[in-house]
Structure 1
Amino acid sequence: MSRGHGGGARPAGRWLAWALQLALIAAIGLAVLWMVRHALGVLQARGVRSGFDFLLAPAGFEISEGWIAFDAGQPFWRAFLAGVVNTVRASVPAAVLAVVLGTLLGIGRLASHMLVRGVCTAYVEALRNVPLLVQLLMLYFALTHLLPDTQEAREWLPGVWLSKGGLALPWPVHEAAQRWHLEWPEMGNFGVIGGASLSPEYLTIVLGLGLYSAAFVAEIVRAGIGSVARGQALAAQALGLTPGQQLRLVVLPQALRVIVPALTNQLLSLTKNSSLAVAVGYPELVSVANTSLSSTGRAFECIAVVMAVYLLLSLVIAVVMNRFNARVALRGWE
């Protein structure tokens, strides 16, 4: 009987915990709503135009690139949406680059080969000790001044052209006949035509964020591997596993318990650091907000939109990584 009573108490405690969390969220939401309404009221009392109605007005400016087509006649809310999509468009590949490269660097820092260990250590120490903004500006200068002109683009790999105008890649396109085919870039009279074109601004923010964050991911991976008891690797070696198998099957799955929480924080920082793209002219969220602020004078509203979007993106990343941690890191990968 005591067991049944205890089993019934657990769901009740769980529901109470959920109710308290929902009440806290509601209280925070009401507090934020009150602060926003109060701020707008103060602005109106001082004769400053305020409110979010400007989001429905024509923006009056264009966005140079992105997955969402945008022109000057479309409303501000669509401009902000295009900026959000551009932020995600840059942050996701940068995060993939950071995780892959950072993992290799972290493993390399523990390598027995002195040259490999030294190169990885030099990379980590150099990039994580130079401000990201400085790295972005230097990378942008290299892409726009040191590469060949657009009319003299070089084909570094089959179908891959690089010049001051950016990077051209083969890309699948859809024809009217309902067929997909791979469109290959080729040199035209005024530069490379066809395929997908990635601007220097986009390449700068993706490479800059990815290479910079990889230095921090490397330290996270190194610490995670170091947290695994030496006896685990020795036991795997006694079973006849190769060094690569020891790392992949024994060490890394256990190291994930330490790696994933710290990696979550690094991915959050990477996403927020994408706001520095405004320095090189990439039209992400902050850049769109700055242009909208200059056009409308609605500083509070534009900043509020930026804050809300970054908060939402951070919450999404946190939820995804927490689920990954719960399903994979606590029991390794299968």
Structure 2
Amino acid sequence: MNYNWNWSVFLTPVPSGETTYLGWLFTGLQWTVALSLSAWVIALVVGSIVGVLRTVPNRWLSSFAAVYVECFRNVPLLVQLFSWYFVLPELLPPALGNAYKQSDPLLQQFLAAMLCLGLFTAARVAEQVRAGIESLPRGQKNAGLAMGFTLAQVYRHVLLPMAFRIIVPPLTSEFLNIFKNSAVATTIGLIELSRQAQQLVDYTAQPYEAFIAVTLLYVCINVTVMFLMRRLEEKVRVPGFIGGK
């Protein structure tokens, strides 16, 4: 292959001179991690609430939760991102919409991507939570009610502690996906990891080095997440249930 490999390009100063191309990649890595973790907090909180609502006996609440899940799961992520970034500011009250549009462009991009990724992943987390609750024997819920617990107390003290232990493995998969899905934020201009790689290619014409480095950084993120989640799974697993020994 007639290609001039140049790994030292990462130590070359960028045109502005304030850092190196490797520094660019690490800056993109920081934005990717910040975006993914903040979106995961939204996904876990909203997904847990929606997942619980999917299993409550109130038909209106369970129907609302089902509509939320179907809407966010069946609309492409990229379409949702464009809707949050381009459409939502126009639907806000004029004062709030103008304040948002006049704010720092980087902040606009980050907030739009965070909300999009968080609420999109929340729909997937909700299904994991629902499956975890429904996998438990009905006797657990009935026993809690028979002891005088309210339905909310049954969920809080009986069902959810067990359900979350069961769904740690699928939640790990969703946690990894949110890091990979964060790359779509490059389409609205957020300078995350993949966007920094594209900039590096534009300035240096060294595509193989740039994307090999980015691939390795994503692999490092995934290996770290998998290691931490495996340790968590070992600590919370329940014998006789999914993931238990």
Under a length normalisation based on structure 2, what TM-score does the superposition of the two structures give? 0.91
Tell me the CA shift for residue 106 of structure 1: 0.5
Bigger Cα displacement from structure 2, 210-219 vs 71-80: 71-80
Q: Is the 8 A contact 1:166 1:203 kept in 2?
A: no
Aligned residues: 240
Q: Deviations over 1:3-57 (max 9, x none)?
A: xxxxxxxxxxxxxxxxxxxxxxxxxxxxxxxxxxxxxxx4xxx2x3212101111
Q: Within 2, Cα distance between the matches of 1:270 and 1:99?
A: 11
> Which residue of 92, 99, 102 corresponds with 1:165?
102
Q: Residue 83 of structure 1 aligns to which amino acid in structure 2?
A: G
Offset at residue 296 of structure 1 (A): 0.7
Q: From the CA coordinates, give the structure whose radius of gyration is larger.
A: 1
Matches within 5 A, 1:16-27: none
Q: Which amino acid aligns with 2:122?
A: A
Q: Which residue does the alignment assign to 2:193? A: 285
Normalized per residue, the structure richer in strand is 1
Say if 1:314 and 1:117 are closer, same or farther in 2 by CA, change over 3 A.
same
Secondary structure (helix, strand or coil) at the match of 1:163 reads helix
Alignment of 1:206-217 (within 5 A): 206-217=114-125
Is 1:52 matched with 2:13?
no
TM-fit CA distance, 1:254: 1.7
Long gaps (5+) in structure 2: none
Q: What are the superposed Cα offsets for residues 120-174 of structure 1, whole Å, 9 maximum, x if unpaired?
A: 110100110111011101111024544577xx557xxxxxx9521348xxxxxxx
Post-superposition Cα deviations, 1:184-204, rounded to whole Å, max 9, x if no partner, equal xxxxxxxxxxxxx97110011
Normalized per residue, the structure richer in helix is 2
Give the counterpart letter for 1:57 in structure 2: T
1:112 aligned onto 2:68: no
Alpha-carbon contact 1:147-1:164 (below 8 Å) kept: no
Once the two structures are superposed, the pairs formed by residues 172-187 of structure 1 within 5 Å of their partners are: none
Cα distance in 1, alignment partners of residues 17 and 149 from structure 2: 62
Pairwise CA distance, 1:206: 0.3
Are 1:91 and 2:36 an aligned pair? yes
State the shift of 1:97 in Å: 0.3
Written as runs of structure 1 = structure 2, the 5 A alignment for 1:1-334 is 42=1, 46=2, 48-60=3-15, 72-147=17-92, 152-153=95-96, 162-166=99-103, 199-330=107-238
- Where 2:167 maps in the other structure, the secondary structure is helix
| Per-residue deviation, 1:270 | 0.8
Q: What letter corresponds to residue 29 of structure 2 in structure 1? A: V
1:228-255 residue CA offsets vs partner (Å, 9 max, x unmatched): 0001111122222221221121111221
Cα 1:148–1:283, aligned 2, differ >3 Å: closer, same or farther? farther
SS at match of 1:110: coil
| Alpha carbons of structure 1 residues 153 and 110: separation in structure 2 relative to 1, 3 Å | closer
Q: Partner amino acid for 2:227?
A: V
In 2: Cα distance, 1:153 partner to 1:245 partner: 39
- Check the 8 A contact 1:91/1:206 in 2, yes or no: yes
Q: Within 2, Cα distance between the matches of 1:202 and 1:72?
A: 25
How far apart are the structure 2 equivalents of 1:54 and 1:289? 12
Q: SS of 1:199's equivalent? A: helix
Q: TM-score, normalised by structure 1?
A: 0.67
Quickly say closer, same or farther: Cα 1:148–1:107, change in 2 above 3 A: closer
Q: Residues 238 and 225 from structure 1, CA distance in 2 versus in 1: closer, same or farther, beyond 3 angstroms?
A: same
Q: How far apart, CA to CA, are the structure 2 residues paired with 1:316 and 1:139?
A: 30
Using a 3 Å threshold, how does the CA distance of structure 1 residues 137 and 230 change in structure 2: closer, same or farther? same
Match of 1:185 in 2: none
Rounded to whole Å, the distance in 1 between the matches of 2:170 and 2:103 is 34
SS at match of 1:103: helix
Q: Quickly say closer, same or farther: Cα 1:52–1:146, change in 2 above 3 A.
A: farther
Q: Is the 8 A contact 1:144 1:200 kept in 2?
A: no
List gaps (5 residues or longer) in structure 1: 1-41, 61-70, 155-160, 168-196
**1:94 Cα shift?**
0.1
Question: Where in structure 1 do 4 or more consecutive aligned residues deviate above 6 Å?
Answer: none
For CA contacts below 8 A with separation 6 or more, give which structure has more relative contact order. Answer: 2
Amino acid at match of 2:66: T
